[in-house]
Amino acid sequence: MLALEFPPLNEILRWRDLFPTFNKVAMIAVAAALIGSLIFLIAARQDGSKAPKGIRNFAEMLVEFVENQIIMPAMGRSGMGWTPFLLTLFIFIYLCNLPGIVPVLYMPATARMAIPLFLAVVVWLVYVGVGLKHQGLGYFGHMIAPPGVPAALYPLIGPIEILSNLIIRPFSLAVRLFANMLAGHILLVTFSLLTEELVFEGDNIVFRILGVLPFVMLILMTVFEVLVGFLQAYIFTILAAVYIGSSAHPEH
């Protein structure tokens, strides 16, 4: 009898501790930080005066990607000082997303709320801090009374601005990353379960042949997840850059 029983969500998301408090998600996060630092450690040790090769070339490509594709469109030339922060953010998120499609691991660390929430809070702290540093208390003043808006609309616009700047921004930043990765993870689990049930548990040749369909879909979704993992890291980083840039220069 064919029966597809989808496991409870906790079963595909929560992992047994490898040692107390250290589970797979924590392991992926630590590994992401380690791999990221290792790439840049090796790159920094190579001679920078010659034409870059191998890992150094890769690291410089990452730096230039962040500078040209994220900082330039979002903050302009004045935001170049934020390169290390945004670079770290991008690499960390990408390396946390990637295990979602890496065999054996098959778990994006960002599909748990903890890491996206932490990163969103860090970005929130940074852009509010930058706003306070560059504009003082005028940062909140600009929110309550945005320039270029008729005074009669202040009571309407002010609360919306405050809500959107201080609550919705970090919330949507965290939820966007988390929900994208969680949805991708659930999709992959669904199609692998379907394939497994049809091909290996099916008691009918028709089912076994039909099992190819979810398998093809699984491969397509895996390719799609590669794109989504990259895109979410990119979007998180560029939104962080946009928020920081808008705090530093309110006119933009």
Partner 1 sequence: MLTAVVTRGATGFDVAFVPQADGGAGDMTYEESLDFCEFPFEEAEFADQYEATGYPCEEGPSPILPEAKELLWGGGSFVVFLVLMRFFLYPKLRKGMDARYAKVEDGLEQADAARAAARAEVTEYEAALATVRAEAAERVDAARATLAGERETRLAEVNAEIAAQREAAMAESRAAREAAEADVRSAVTDVTSKVLELAIGRAPAEQVDAAVADVMNSEVRS
Partner 2 sequence: MEALSILAQVAEPADFGPIGAGIGYGLAAIGPGIGIGYIVGKSVEAMARQPESAGMVRTTMFLGVAFTEAIALIGFVVAMLVQ
| Total number of residues that touch partner 2 (CB under 8 A) | 18
Burial 132-159 (b: 16+ CB within 10 A, else e): eeebeeebbebbeeeeeeeeeeeeebbe
- 131 alpha-carbon distance from chain centroid: 23
Residue 60 vs 156, nearer CB to partner 1: 60
| Helix, strand, coil content of the chain in percent (nearest 5) | 80, 0, 20
Interacting stretch for partner 1, rule CB under 8 A, among 50-58, 153-161, 194-202, 214-222? Answer: 50-58
43 binds, among partner 1, partner 2, none (CB under 5 to 8 A by kind): partner 1
Interacting stretch for partner 1, rule CB under 8 A, among 2-10, 68-76, 97-105, 201-209? Answer: 2-10
Could you tell me the two tokens for 154? Answer: 């202040």
- Residue 188 near partner 1 by CB under 8 A: no
- Residue 238 near partner 2 by CB under 8 A: yes
Could you tell me the two tokens for 78? Answer: 């004045």
- Residue 44 near partner 2 by CB under 8 A: no
Binding letters toward partner 1, positions 8-37, x by CB under 8 A: xxxxxxxxxx---xxx-xx--xx-xxx-xx
CB 225 within 8 A of CB 101: yes
CB 175 within 8 A of CB 165: no
Interacting stretch for partner 2, rule CB under 8 A, among 40-48, 104-112, 209-217, 233-241? Answer: 233-241
Question: In 3-state terms, what secondary structure has residue 29?
Answer: helix
Of 165, 180, 195, 246, the residue at the interface with partner 2 (CB under 8 A) is 180
112 binds, among partner 1, partner 2, none (CB under 5 to 8 A by kind): partner 1
User: CB within 8 A of 25, min separation 6: which ones?
Assistant: 15, 107, 109, 112, 114, 115
Of 43, 115, 198, 239, the residue at the interface with partner 2 (CB under 8 A) is 239
Nearest to 93 by CA among 68, 65, 116, 74: 116
User: CB within 8 A of 111, min separation 6: which ones?
Assistant: 13, 100, 178, 181, 182, 184, 185
- Residue 199 near partner 1 by CB under 8 A: no
- Residue 176 near partner 2 by CB under 8 A: yes
**E-strand spans in 167-243?**
none
In the complex, the residues that contact partner 1 under the rule CB under 8 A are 7-17, 21-23, 25-26, 29-30, 32-34, 36-37, 40-41, 43-44, 46-52, 56, 59-60, 63, 83-85, 87-88, 91-92, 96, 109, 112-115, 117-119, 122, 178, 182
In the complex, the residues that contact partner 2 under the rule CB under 8 A are 9, 69, 73-74, 172, 175-176, 178-180, 182-183, 231, 234-235, 238-239, 242
